[in-house]
């Protein structure tokens, strides 16, 4: 008895060796693989690193543009600035009723800008009348001074000062210690006081 042709065809269809003709549409083109390094780096950390680097660069630029002049300034300039600030502070805080005009003129020679105008008005309207009426006499002594900021044409000096005051009502000296930030500016080759801020 010959095998049934239908059965043979079914076996051939079920055979694993049966060739299956693949459609050209199902053929996949090779995908261009991204470099492994780029695929493994998250995007957000990269952006953060770039921002940090940019901030560091900006900070470095600010330092060299604004503060590096301190390093280029001759050390002798710092000495001159401290001396000018100290002498100016003593002149500002020292006066006697017998020599007010002379004392105020000496103080003004250390000042510049708006502070000179303020000091002139303040001494004329307040200090001079009180000094004459109460026989006020003050004497200042510098206990120490140091440069806080130093640039080619400006500086800030921290000054420690003791001030002794006597008056007609209180002949015994009254002592007062204070700390002052003295802002300086180079004007026509001389260091002059432009601000005088107690701290």
Question: Is residue 82 within 8 Å of 73, Cβ to Cβ?
Answer: no
Task: Tell me the pLDDT band of 141, cut-offs 50, 70 and 90.
Answer: very high
Tell me, yes or no, whether 46 and 79 share the same domain.
Answer: no
pLDDT mean over 58-80? 63
Q: According to the per-residue pLDDT averaged within each range, which of 4-13, 45-54, 145-154 is highest?
A: 145-154
CATH code where residue 132 lies: 3.10.450.50
Tell me, yes or no, whether 106 and 46 share the same domain.
Answer: no
Tell me, yes or no, whether 137 and 47 share the same domain.
Answer: no
Tell me, yes or no, whether 183 and 121 share the same domain.
Answer: yes
Domain count for the chain = 2
Instruction: List, in sequence order, every residue forming a beta bridge with 176; answer none if it has no partner.
Output: 163
Q: Looking at the predicted structure, is the pLDDT value of residue 111 above 80?
A: yes
Quick: pLDDT tens for 7-50.
Answer: 444 444 454 444 444 444 455 555 555 555 555 555 555 565 56
pLDDT for the residue 34 = 54
In the predicted model, what is the mean pLDDT of the chain?
Answer: 80
Tell me, yes or no, whether 102 and 124 share the same domain.
Answer: yes
Tell me, yes or no, whether 52 and 100 share the same domain.
Answer: no
Tell me, yes or no, whether 176 and 103 share the same domain.
Answer: yes
pLDDT mean over 99-113? 98
Of 67, 88, 112, at which residue does a domain stop? 67
**156 is in which domain, residue-wise?**
74-198
pLDDT for the residue 169 = 92
- Mark residue 75 as left, alpha or beta (left: phi above 0; alpha: psi -120 to 50; beta: remaining): alpha
pLDDT mean over 101-124? 97
Let me know if residue 8 belongs to a domain.
no
Task: Tell me the pLDDT band of 75, cut-offs 50, 70 and 90.
Answer: confident
Task: Tell me the pLDDT band of 74, cut-offs 50, 70 and 90.
Answer: confident
- Give the DSSP letter string of 66-123: IITHHHHS-HHHHHHHHHHHHHHHHHHH-B-GGGHHHHHHHHHTTB-HHHHHHHHHHI
Tell me, yes or no, whether 107 and 163 share the same domain.
Answer: yes
What backbone phi and psi angles, to 5 degrees, belong to 9? Answer: -65, -35
Tell me, yes or no, whether 60 and 90 share the same domain.
Answer: no
């Amino acid at each position: 008895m010959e095998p049934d042709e239908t059965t043979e065809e079914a076996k051939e269809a079920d055979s694993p060796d049966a060739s299956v003709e693949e459609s050209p549409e199902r053929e996949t083109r090779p995908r261009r693989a991204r470099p492994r390094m780029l695929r493994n780096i998250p995007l957000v950390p990269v952006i953060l690193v770039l921002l940090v680097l940019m901030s560091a660069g900006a900070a470095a630029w600010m330092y060299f543009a604004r503060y590096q002049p301190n390093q280029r300034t001759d050390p002798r300039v710092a000495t001159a600035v401290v001396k000018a600030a100290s002498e100016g502070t003593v002149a500002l805080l020292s006066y006697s009723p017998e020599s007010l005009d002379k004392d105020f003129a000496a103080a003004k020679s250390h000042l510049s800008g708006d502070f000179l105008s303020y000091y002139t008005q303040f001494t004329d309207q307040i200090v001079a009348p009180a000094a004459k009426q109460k026989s006020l006499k003050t004497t200042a002594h510098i206990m120490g001074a140091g440069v806080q900021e130093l640039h080619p044409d400006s500086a800030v000096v921290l000054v420690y000062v003791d001030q002794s005051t006597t008056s007609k009502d209180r002949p015994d000296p009254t002592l007062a210690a204070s700390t002052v930030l003295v802002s300086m500016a180079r004007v026509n080759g001389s260091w002059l006081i432009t601000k005088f801020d107690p701290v």
